Amino acid sequence: MCMLFALPGAFAISVSEEEVNASLSTISISSATNLYAYEVNMSYTGSVSSVDFAGFLGSSTSSGYVTRDNYAYAYESKLDSTQAGTSGSGALFNVTHSGDLTVCGILAVSASGSSEYASTGNCNSNSASGSTSPSGSAGGGGGGSAGGTINTSTTGAVDLGGAVYFSVDEIIVTAILGRETIRTLTVKNTEDKPVVIDLFQEGFGNALVLPQKIELAVGEEKNLTLLFTPSEQKVLTGKILFEIAGERINEVLVIVNVRSENSLFDNVLTLGRKSKVITPGERIVAQVNIEQVGVSGMKIDVTVNYFIRDFAGNSYLEDSETFFVDGSKEYVKEFPTDNLPLGKYVLSLEIVYPGEFATSSAQFEVRATESLITLWRVIGGAILLIAGAVFFWAVRHKPSTGRKSSATRRSRRS
């Protein structure tokens, strides 16, 4: 079985799945132009046991895959000093699986930093949001080229009860400090009446400009232009909020990986398999890959700052260390999460050195376990039972205030 999907936009890339046998499929790409990184989303009915990459982007890459709720996300990002992407056609990876496998879409990132996501329409919106799973992910990168930007993100189509359609529910941007970067978001009114959508933002400071409202006639579709002009040397996190008549209908999560124009480093931040979704207090494990670009044989002292932020821009962890990089550097680092409430967060890496900087990031989620949820339910039930027992006891033993007993009245008459 072979399925071809053409992507609209600048890339004009097509992705195909070829079934080698009942348990092995080859995912290939055609007409790639200057491709630096990608993420392919797939659905499956059985299980995915392995993803073997074919080396389409070269030998120096960061790659992996994520699975959750019958969706798989395979990603690969270059890590080299050439600042050049890959063009042409060929196999991306082989997937060993059981049951049926369906390609849902692809996020493609060029060496210039531009990105394009397209859904094949063969999977529902869960194929996007499922990427918060624990199998591992590579964060968006900053540096002398596209710098990655592959994050197992909730990128995909959202259908809100048939009323309004949103083309994405998460946006990851690589932007140069002080320069404008434009992204678009498609909104369509599928309701049988006109709608007016109010737009708000949270967490960006002055880095994002967007319209205050958008009006859509019945069946009308509009492209919403998002203008990012970062002025801070850090990873920016935030939300774009959408409301109709004061009622929240959707929010789009946004990560902006900011870098200087002449950055000397590519860097990718990768979360381990068990660190993408964690329970409260569990430590996360990240791998950091740093590669010099444009220079060689030069030791450069760098300061690396680490942060954990939520999508409101609040910071929960700050850490820093200094070392030198000679060509490349790879290491693993653990981060505590003791003070994090349930929710989605961004772990960011910010490399600072004389006159320049680069950033990368990866998203994770703190989620209650089923046992913890069950414990809360048991405790809640126990509290209700105790409260009910106390109330019942109080009613049964409430002192009489309306009348005195006949024995008391007789005693007084005597």
Q: Is the pLDDT assigned to residue 412 strictly greater than 70?
A: no
Q: What is the DSSP letter of 140?
A: B
Return the higher-pLDDT residue of 379 and 156.
Answer: 379
- DSSP E strands, 22-68: 24-44, 47-53, 61-68
Residues 341-388 pLDDT 10s: 999 999 999 999 888 899 999 999 999 875 444 444 555 555 666 666
Structure-token pair, residue 113: 């930093």
pTM: 0.59
Q: Is the pLDDT assigned to residue 247 strictly greater than 70?
A: yes
Q: How far apart are CA 186 and CA 121, in angstroms?
A: 15
What residue segments make up the domains of the chain, in order of their start?
2-366
Q: How far apart are CA 295 and CA 265, in angstroms?
A: 9
Q: How far apart are CA 273 and CA 252, in angstroms?
A: 25
Q: Using the Cα atoms of residue 390, residue 391, residue 392 and residue 398 in order, give the sign of their dihedral.
A: positive
Determine how many CB atoms are found less than 10 A away from the CB of residue 114. Answer: 19
Mean pLDDT across 73-102:
84
pLDDT for position 60: 76
pLDDT for position 405: 44
Q: How far apart are CA 172 and CA 167, in angstroms?
A: 14
Q: How far apart are CA 205 and CA 12, in angstroms?
A: 34
Q: Using the Cα atoms of residue 138, residue 142, residue 144 and residue 148 in order, give the sign of their dihedral.
A: positive
> Do the Cβ atoms of 164 and 197 come closer than 8 Å?
yes
242-126-368 Cα angle (round to 5): 85
Q: Per-residue DSSP letters for 65-88?
A: EEEETTEEEEEEEE--SS---EEE
112-310-240 Cα angle (round to 5): 65
Of 2-11, 209-218, 358-367, the range with the lowest mean pLDDT is: 2-11
> Do the Cβ atoms of 185 and 252 come closer than 8 Å?
yes
Separation in Å, CA 241 to CA 168, 310, 342, 406: 13, 15, 20, 71
Q: How far apart are CA 297 and CA 295, in angstroms?
A: 7
Q: How far apart are CA 136 and CA 339, in angstroms?
A: 23
Q: Is the pLDDT assigned to residue 261 strictly greater than 90?
A: no
Mean pLDDT across 136-165:
44
Q: Which residues pair with 216 in a beta bridge?
A: 195
Q: How far apart are CA 331 and CA 88, in angstroms?
A: 32
Q: Per-residue DSSP letters for 303-348?
A: EEEEEEEETTS-EEEEEEEEEEEESEEEEEEEE--TTPPSEEEEEE
Q: How far apart are CA 200 and CA 374, in angstroms?
A: 36
Are β-strands 356-366 and 277-278 bridged in parallel, bridged antiparallel, or unpaired?
parallel
In the structure, what pLDDT confidence band is assigned to residue 141 with cuts at 50, 70 and 90?
low
